[in-house]
Amino acid sequence: MKISRRQFEQNRAKANRLCPCGKSNLDGKFATEKGFEGQNVGHCHGCAKDFWPDSGTLEPIQRYTPIETVNYCSHSWDEIEQTFDTDLESGFAKFLIEVFGEKQAVKAVENYILGNYYGNTIFWQIDRYNNVRAGKVISYLPDGKRDKSLNPKAKRWMHKKGECDLNQCFYGDHLILDNNLPIAVAEGAKAAIMMSLIRPEYIWISAESKGGLSKSKCESIAEYNVTLFPDAGCYELWKSKGDLYGFKTTKEVELLMQKGYIEDGDDITDYYLNWPEFRAALKPKKIKKIDPEWNAFVKQNPELGLKKD
């Protein structure tokens, strides 16, 4: 039987406005197989699922490695310096000030080298050898939610689409060599940054998507003490990945969802932000136990290895 390689529509968002999982495809995470425009056939890089026709004649995408020379994206430190959010003017920086106060916001912006692009936040992916891999641009509203309205100044990536190929690393990878703390992996950059202020006993990095635990990323931290913090509803998927590399996968977020503290799809930060007392105590006090039920929760779930306040 002849095996053919999969080809995909070049304009992902135009080929399908929605991923079969129900999420918007404006960010192009769902790649539609060529010839199947408008149909649920392809691979979603967001939910990490395949949607192939059951013909048995096509090679799975993960088995196909291009033989052509790859032109990886790279950025200079001049771009970092020019866009660095010195005055905390980006949407996410303003949200950090609102929640944590200016001193903690400055700490987060400096540690994670956040950029500002016309009010939008640049999350620079910098590896531990100070190579600038990519710059993802996201617009945030004052409440910390993504601004999904059309913004002509908002770009998905700092480079132009199609001029190079992304070679991503963990967001926050540049922090690893300067610390001897265990590593915690969140799904998104926003969660990693906020958790670095809430629970600083870890080096917080992010996989950048539900399906972001790639082989190259995981192998890069395989020698470290790593704990995965999957979003609610993603425990089994991340545990199956983490087990391959000896990572611990905490069930903390999953249990919080089961107990009704957060909803399916939420991350660990949603638990903290859902408590008004917690947010009220962040400024200017040092973060301590705010949730009156936290110690009871820790006592009831010793397998999580959590600490009492």
Whether residues 133 and 186 share a domain: the answer is: no
Question: Do 77 and 9 share a structural domain?
Answer: no
pLDDT at 33: 82
Q: Do 94 and 221 have their domain in common?
A: no
Residues 98 and 146 both lie in one domain: yes
Do 13 and 129 have their domain in common? no
pLDDT tier at 289 (50, 70, 90 boundaries)? very low
Q: How many structural domains is the chain composed of?
A: 3
- Quote the CA–CA distance of 100 and 108 in Å, as a whole number: 10
* 115/42: higher pLDDT: 115
Percentage of the chain exceeding pLDDT 70: 74
SS3 165: strand
**247, exposed or middle or buried, with CB in 10 Å at 0-12, 13-18, 19+?**
buried
Q: Give the three-class secondary structure for 198.
A: helix
Q: 234 and 110, same structural domain?
A: no
pLDDT score at 54: 60
Structure tokens at 268: 């660990």
Helix axes 102-112, 91-100, angle to 10 degrees: 140
Distance from C-alpha of 308 to C-alpha of 62, rounded to nearest angstrom: 43
pLDDT digits 0-9 by tens, 236-277: 999 999 999 999 999 999 998 998 888 898 998 988 888 766
Q: Buried b vs exposed e over 138-158: b needs ≥16 C-beta within 10 Å?
A: bbbeeebeeeeeeeeebbeeb
Q: Where are the alpha helices (DSSP H) in the chain?
A: 12-15, 77-83, 91-100, 102-112, 189-198, 215-220, 235-243, 252-258, 268-273, 276-282, 294-300
Q: Print the domain residue range for 181.
A: 170-309
Query: What pLDDT does residue 84 have?
Result: 92
| 193 shares a domain with 75 | no
State yes or no: pLDDT of 209 exceeds 50: yes
Domain boundary among 12, 47, 65: 65
Q: Do 288 and 301 reside in the same domain of the chain?
A: yes
175 and 301 share one domain: yes
Res 104: pLDDT: 92
Q: Are residues 298 and 181 in the same domain?
A: yes
| CATH code where residue 275 lies | 3.40.1360.10
Question: Do residue 309 and residue 175 come from a single domain?
Answer: yes
Query: Which of the listed residues 10, 37, 65 is the one where a domain comes to its end?
Result: 65
Find tokens 């306040």 and name the residue.
309
* pLDDT over 90 (residue 192): yes
Per-chain mean pLDDT for the chain: 79
Statement to judge: residues 154 and 257 lie in one domain: no
Give the end of a domain, one of 41, 65, 89. 65
Q: What is the pTM of this model?
A: 0.68
- The whole-angstrom distance between residue 126's C-alpha and the CA centroid of its chain comes to 14
Distance between CA atoms of residues 307 and 298, nearest Å: 7
